[in-house]
Amino acid sequence: MSAPVLWILIPAGVGLVLALFSGSPRFTFTFALVLAFLLAWAALLLPIDQPLAVGGFAFKLTPTFFFLGRSLDLTVSDQPLLLGVWGLVFLWLAGGLFAQPPRLFAPAVLVAVALLTAALAVTPFLYAALLFELTAMLFVPLLAPQGRGSRGVLRMLAFMTIGMTFILFVGWMLEGAAASPGIPVLTLRAGVLLGLGFAFLMAVFPFHSWVPMLMEGADLYSAAFLLFMLPGAVALFGLELVDRFVWLRQSPTLFTLLLAGGAIMVLVGGLLAGLERRLDRQLGFAILLETGMSMLAVAVLQSTGLALFFALLLPRGISLLVWAASLANLSQQPRVDLSLAGVKGLAGRYALRFAAILMAIFSLAGLPLLSGFPFRMLLIQNLAVDSPWVAGAVLLGNFGLMASGLRIIASIVSEAPRPDLSVAVTGDELERARTPDFPAWLFISVAGAGSLVVGLFPQWFWPLFDRLPAIFTQLGH
């Protein structure tokens, strides 16, 4: 067996089969959870391209799989990344039991992660752009059920298609630039088109308008998962191109643009989150802020290395998971509107859900003791040495995100007359209002403990982050 079969073809095939059983969501979620755990366990314990004996049976996971004349390659250096990805997928699937996303969520997650893994493993690399587009299209039925939220979905698909077109068009130009690095015009054109392609794919300012629009109209949990996984995979693909092409890696303009673009993203995302009146759109702006943080982590890689880029992904994944799951569950409660005016006086009734949302917001804003604090402080310290204005922009953006949490607190603890749920409500609404909060207790307790552990003991996780840059032959050294 080859490694791409285990971590790409098997989850994709299982996801397609589970889609046939979408009428039994408990079964599909349970099966997907078990598979995600087994794939994470395999990434931890099964070495690639080394013989392994189990009892009387010997086998070896080969690193390459050929498919339709193209190759998929996963090496032993990719295993820490596979462990992290499938570990986070396991957590997101577990959170889905609390968030109650659409029935096709678990099968779609397996197929989407397989497609994104294939995008990073495929040769020639141009096929990655097609796989990114396919991943976005895969989530359309989940994001816009019965046409709800279709405006944001259509804009997302339009921007993804434009970005994919730029990447495909620039492919042959990149090969030409690599063969003839002395032609500055060719290099400049390829660089500009490549930057535009990634700006569209990652919703970089000013191509970001669809993100909060999508969060407002679509299924919250599905949208948050897609906007966590897809930009992360696109960023890794971009780093792979920088690692591959010398003229990109040695370009000072690239890192200057990343620095400026990242600062703008953090500033815009944080300030707009602080000014936003809807809780779902606040989550969208926070995702934009996180994209900017990733850009800044790449911009300072010459002083910090890529370990910091990967270190930011863990608290981001946990915080977005907790925020999206709690917000999605809150939106399903009777007579709850996800606006600051609509949640007035609800602190007592939905205390656990709001506690989880606030914990996620303050973690992403870098509040001490929570998971986002140590890695954000490390990034800000490095930025302050050479670019104090960027460090100031990052602090201001994070203060804006923190202000959004303070506005939620002020709203939920304020006095506001609420309609009696026993009057003029359906039987289904009354049943959901009486639902016990044990799943909420369990989910939020585990998530809160995990956030505190990462925030208090980041050194326990740093060895894993330090191994992840080895997937790149040049940038990893």
For residue range 365-407, list pLDDT tens digits in order: 988 888 888 889 888 988 888 888 999 999 999 999 999 999 9
Nearest to 179 by CA among 245, 252, 248, 250: 245
In a domain, 129, yes or no: no
Asked if residue 190 lies in contact with residue 259, where contact means CB atoms within 8 angstroms, the answer is no
Compute the average pLDDT of residues 340-360: 85
* Confidence (pLDDT) at 422: 46
Could you tell me which residue, 464 or 275, shows the higher pLDDT?
A: 275
* 138 found inside a domain: no
Position 145 scores a pLDDT of 66
Q: Are 337 and 411 part of one and the same domain? A: yes
The pLDDT-based confidence of 286 (bands split at 50, 70, 90) is: very high
- Within-domain flag for 466: yes
Orientation angle between helical segments 79-99 and 25-45, nearest 10 degrees = 160
Q: How high is the pLDDT of residue 439?
A: 66
Pairwise CA distance, residues 217 & 86, whole Å: 28
Mean pLDDT within 440-449: 76
* pLDDT, average across residues 4-30: 90
Please tell me which residue, 58 or 34, carries the higher pLDDT value.
Answer: 34
Whether 133 is in a domain gets the answer no
Q: What is the DSSP string of 55-71?
A: TTEEEEBBSEEEETTEE
pLDDT higher than 50, residue 423? no
**CA–CA separation, 133 and 135 (whole Å):** 5
Q: Which of 230, 250, 270 represents a domain boundary (last residue)?
A: 250
Residues 174 and 303 in one domain: no
265 in a domain, yes or no? Answer: yes
- Same domain for 233 and 293, yes or no, is no
**Residue 362 shares a structural domain with residue 402:** yes
SS3 at position 336: coil
Amino acid at 254: L
pLDDT band at 149 (very low <50, low <70, confident <90, very high): low
Most confidently modeled range among 66-70, 193-197, 406-410, 432-436? 406-410
CB hemisphere CA count around 161 (13 angstroms)? 7
| 268 & 389 share domain | yes
> Which has the closest alpha carbon to 197: 175, 176, 167, 223?
167
**Band of pLDDT at residue 233, cut at 50, 70 and 90:** very high
Residue 419 scores a pLDDT above 60: no
User: Predicted confidence band at 291 (pLDDT cuts at 50, 70, 90)?
Assistant: very high
Percent of the chain residues topping a pLDDT of 90: 29
Strands (E) in 87-191, as ranges, are 122-123
Do residue 406 and residue 442 come from a single domain? yes
Does the pLDDT of residue 140 top 50, yes or no? yes
Q: What is the pLDDT of residue 438?
A: 66
Same structural domain, 230 and 156: yes
Predicted confidence (pLDDT) at residue 298 exceeds the cutoff of 70:
yes
Residue 236 tokens read as 């890794």
Q: Indicate if the pLDDT at residue 179 is higher than 50.
A: yes
φ and ψ at 64, to 5 degrees? -125, 140
Residue at 197: amino acid letter? G
Count of structural domains within the chain: 3
In terms of residue numbers, what domain contains 175? 146-250
Q: Which residues contact 456 (CB under 8 A, 6 or more apart)?
A: 369
Q: How confident is the model at residue 178 (pLDDT cuts 50, 70, 90)?
A: low
Residue 39 lies in a domain: yes
Instruction: Report the alpha-carbon distance of residue 332 to residue 431 in Å, rounded.
Output: 12
In a domain, 164, yes or no: yes
pLDDT at 55: 64
235 lies in the same domain as 275: no
Predicted confidence at residue 181, as pLDDT, reads 55
In this structure, the answer to whether residues 265 and 399 fall within a common structural domain is: yes
Domain co-membership, 239 together with 115: no
